[in-house]
Each structure stands twice: as C-alpha cells, then as structure tokens.
Amino acid sequence: MPKKLSVSIDFDGVIHSYTSGWTGYEKIVDPPVEGAFNRLNEYLEHFTVYIFSTRSTIGERGIKGMKRWFEKHGFDHSKLKFAEKKPKCSLYIDDRGFHFKGNFPSVEYINSFKTWNKPDGGKVENNGGKPSTLEEGGKGDFSSIQQVPGGTQETT
C-alpha cells in the first residue's frame, strides 16, 4: 500500500477566518472560513492532515487553544495532527504563502502583499458578518493569475 500524502494547513486566515486579527494564542474569537470543515473532512479521507500555525510554535498552550476552537465549532479534530514545528508535507496551504515556481517575488510584490481576507492591508471589509470564500466571484478559478519573473500578476 502506498504511503499517504500529507498536507499542512495554516490555522489563522485559512481555517479560522481571522477577521478580528490577533487576540492571543488561546483566545480565538472568529468563525471558520466557509467550507473549511467540509474540505478538511475530504482531505482527511485521502491525506494525513497537519495543522501548523504560529500558535503551534509556543507548544501545548497554542495547540489547546486551536483544539478548543474546533470543539466550540463542532468539528472533531481527533484525526488532525497538530505540529509544533513545520512538518514535512507534500503541500502547504497558507494565506501568507507564495507559490515558488523558480522565480523569486520582487521587493515590490512582497511590500504590497495582502492576504485574501484583508485586501486593504489590515481592515477586513464587512461581508455581512460572514467571511469571504473562494467560491464568491470565481469559484476558485485562478486562471487569470500567472507567474511572471519577480512575482505574480493578474492577466486581463
């Protein structure tokens, strides 16, 4: 039987909507990103799933906070693996990542980088109290994004 692939998923801004920003390692106040739990369950059927976050790096206190958050939102986290150090994985899902394809991002790209849920650089626009999703306005279609030397750009 082939070895199961593994995926590492960031917590804040990927699973936890993180619309209020940082409130502490154990105090996690925002709801899940829409569709996150369904996708986690699907991944768990096929992959070993690690949760790795800045919260993880302080050890059990941060991990307990994330586990309590999953419980508060009715998700069984028993099959998830919580890593204190970056795990060796086939793929990393992170809201602050850059997909490296042989070209490094430019200084300008790095300086202007915004996470998906904070396009104005810090303030999160009110979306009726619900976090934005990939499905809104594109259903996760990233065909308009292309890799260019020095970064990425949207094509028109």
Q: How many residues does the chain have?
A: 156
Q: What's the CATH code, domain 6-154?
A: 3.40.50
| Residues forming beta bridges with residue 153, ordered by sequence position | 146
Type and span of the H or E element at 7: strand 6-9
DSSP state of 32: B
pLDDT at 12 over 90: yes
Model confidence over 93-113: pLDDT tens digits?
999 999 999 999 999 999 999
pLDDT of residue 79: 98
Type and span of the H or E element at 9: strand 6-9
Average pLDDT over residues 51-75: 94
Q: How confident is the model at residue 1 (pLDDT cuts 50, 70, 90)?
A: low
Q: Phi first, then psi: what are they for 49, rounded to 5°?
A: -110, 120
Q: Return d(Cα 44, Cα 114) in angstroms, integer.
A: 29
81 vs 119, higher pLDDT: 81
The mean pLDDT value of the chain amounts to 80
